A and B are shown apart, each in its own frame.
Chain A
Amino acid sequence: MLYIIEDAINGILMGSIYGLAALGLTLIFGVLKVINFAHGSLLMVSMYVAYWAVTLTGLHPYIALVLVVPVMFIFGYLLQDIVIKPIFKAEKNVREPITVIIVTTGVWYILDNLTLLIFGPQYRNLEANPLRGKMLELGEMLISVPKLWGFGAAVLTTLAIHLFLQRTATGRAIRATSLDREAASLMGINAYKIYNLAFGIGTAIAGVAAVALVPFYNVFPTVGVLFDIKCFIIVVLGGLGSIGGALLGGIIIGLIESVAPQFMAATWTEAIVYGLFLLVLFVKPSGIFGVKHDW
């Protein structure tokens, strides 16, 4: 029993970081109505930014947030403004333009391989950071400290995004655009500007996830791919576009990955995750918790 509690705690902590990684994806989907296949790559870029920020300045990884978040926000904002917006303009009349999916995949290829060209295929790792390898002893249970920090970051970010969308004028404009683009633009909201903003914020959240990951995880050019599909599954489980759903979806995946291997080979958990994913799609496509959009 104690084992299962220990595994569940690890699952919740790791899962919350998955959720944090997926949060940006769900926000971007909620507003732009397209799946951003470059999301894993944006996470990868963020991890490199975080890695270099910490390595060059010697700061505590979480202090590096002040650097990583704005850099990634600008990166995402410009990416949407320069690369993706023109396609939206060309496909004005389509609600979920498939061409944009293809473009984000193009961005994925470019970012991953540009990173390979610039930084090489090596695996990097923040060797000396104050969080690395720290474990919290709780009786007989061991809990990873960097994952605990990641959990905190995930919960706070989710809360902050929720409040931002509910309480601020910009947040309300984003919500209005996501619900009805035409109506919003009639009310004087510049939809494309909102798209840029949403993409920037979504990428900045990937930056937060990267900061949560680098203290204990490897950085390499194809690292984003490992998180890509996981993020898609999470946002569907939680309901595409649902902010709280991303966190909960992530925790579900984390729990399956952490608890299920105690009863079967670890390789089968992947199959369980896909099975659950399909089940949710068939039974309740709006996600386990989702109304269509809860914001």
Chain B
Amino acid sequence: MNILQKIAVPVVAFSMLAGTSAFAENVKIGNIEPMSGPSASLGQQGKAAREMAVEEINAAGGIKSLGGMKLELIYADSESKPEKGVAEAERLINTEKVHLLTGCWNSAVTYPTTAVAERYGIPFVVPVSVADKITEQGFKTVFRIAAKDSWWTRDQFAFLKDMQAEFNTPVKKLAFVYENGDWGTGFAAQWKKLAEEGGYEVVLDEPYPSTSTDLSPVVQKIKRAKPDVLLLTSNAADAILLTNTLAEYNVQLKAIIGSGGGHADPSFMKAVGKNAAQIFDIGEWETDVNKPGAKEANEKYKAKYGQNLSGEAVDAYLAIYVIADALERAGSLEPAKILEALRATDLSSGPGMIVGYDKVAFDETGQNKHAALVIVQVNDTGNGLERITVWPKNARRAGYTPVFPMAVK
């Protein structure tokens, strides 16, 4: 290849990139995700799950009401930066002419990018970005699959209450430890309210920098505050560090409850091993969920990408099926028609519905009103460590009794 060709290839590729949008033979879905930078792990899980859904839908004949039109995913890297997300949303909408957008995992990126989509009237499906505010901006084009953070925290406290009754073990003192970003501080604010309402005593309310290199000072604070239950909101690196350090310092608690995120990251269990045992975590989906197709979907994903589906990945997977369902009913690529169809969503079956709840339908703010959460306990019942669903009780894995309070190690 001579020099000219070397230059020509990317130039042609660029111009093709800009040019293909003129004739749309596919439904274009733009996806803004953190593909590099500190949240890359989550962005790449979301990408893998979307890909799997799209492959399945296309293999099954695409969108039939649109003449078998295929879905096409276009990715953009936000690097977890709001301004990159905004620039990419502009590009995806104006140059790629996407029909829908999804993203962005980081709430800080989702706020301003949904505002861009709103301005152009382009439907924006948010698989996961849990901040309440996202569906409370008054936007008409935003639809969220995942539960919002006030529901996550509400369910964490409901779970705590149920466990106390079931195991006759009172819990008085709580400790809140959370990363000091948008997500962690959002959860903590809700926890404080709920603790007050529930009559708990908060013995520790501790944010920590998500860039911490040593969390033993925080663990010491937990140990000395002597809480009954520890609630955590952590990203992967700090979840791993905290869990290991808690074990090293032999901190005795009745329960540790995570908030998904780092605790649900596929690398978490691998990296902490048996230190993860008996930790509770909240999420929207588990490998043991009693839903047709769930097991198969997980096997397929695992064979392809080498890790279990995480709650975040399943939300992305479901989001694509929700989009496909809406497109099927819209029978058109007009944004207004797609929006109308999304608003009328009432999805209760299909390969995408492997989540713990039975239906996807959006309320007037665009929040999936059926989104529900399950709480799992990490434990080893003879098949190695796994996430075992324990709450709500009707979803609990048959034959499993949760360990509460945690056994003294």
Contacts and interface: CB of A to CB of B under 8 A. Distances in A.
Q: Which residue of B216, B241, B275 has the most chain A CB atoms within 10 A of its CB atom?
A: B216
Contacts of A95: none
A267 B212 CA distance: 9
Given A222-B37, A222-B38, A133 B275 contact: yes
Given A123-B237, A125-B240, A220-B237, A261 B248 contact: no
A57 interface: no
A61 B207 CA distance: 33
A125 B271 contact: yes
B217 A121 contact: no
Q: Is the interface of A mostly helix, strand, loop or mixed?
A: helix
A50 to B, nearest CB: 16
Contacts of A135: 248-250
Contact of A257 (B37, B40, B214, B250): B214
A122 B41 contact: yes
A123 B36 contact: no
A206 to B, nearest CB: 15
Interface stretch (B20-28, B64-72, B218-226): B218-226
Contacts of B44: 120-121
Interface residues of A, number: 43
A261 B218 CA distance: 7
Contacts of B244: 132-133, 216
Given A218-B241, A262-B220, A265-B206, A121 B214 contact: no
Interface string B220-236: 11001000000000001
B273 interface: yes
Contacts of A221: 40
B213 interface: yes
Contacts of B170: none
Contacts of B37: 222
Contacts, number: 106
B257 to A, nearest CB: 20
B209 interface: yes
B208 interface: yes
Nearest to B40: A121
Contacts of A225: 211
Interface stretch (A6-14, A29-37, A281-289): A6-14
Interface string B58-89: 00000000000000000000000000000000
Nearest to B213: A226
A193 interface: no
B271 A123 contact: yes
Interface of A: 3, 6-7, 10-11, 14, 18, 113, 116, 120-125, 127, 132-133, 135, 142, 144, 216-218, 220-223, 225-227, 230, 254, 257-262, 265-267, 270
User: What are the 9 closest A-B residue pairs judged by CB atoms, nearest first?
Assistant: A121-B40, A125-B271, A121-B41, A261-B217, A266-B208, A123-B267, A14-B214, A267-B180, A122-B267
Given A261-B220, A266-B218, 11 more contacts: A116-B36, A123-B240, A127-B270, A133-B248, A218-B237, A218-B241, A220-B237, A258-B216, A261-B217, A262-B221, A265-B206
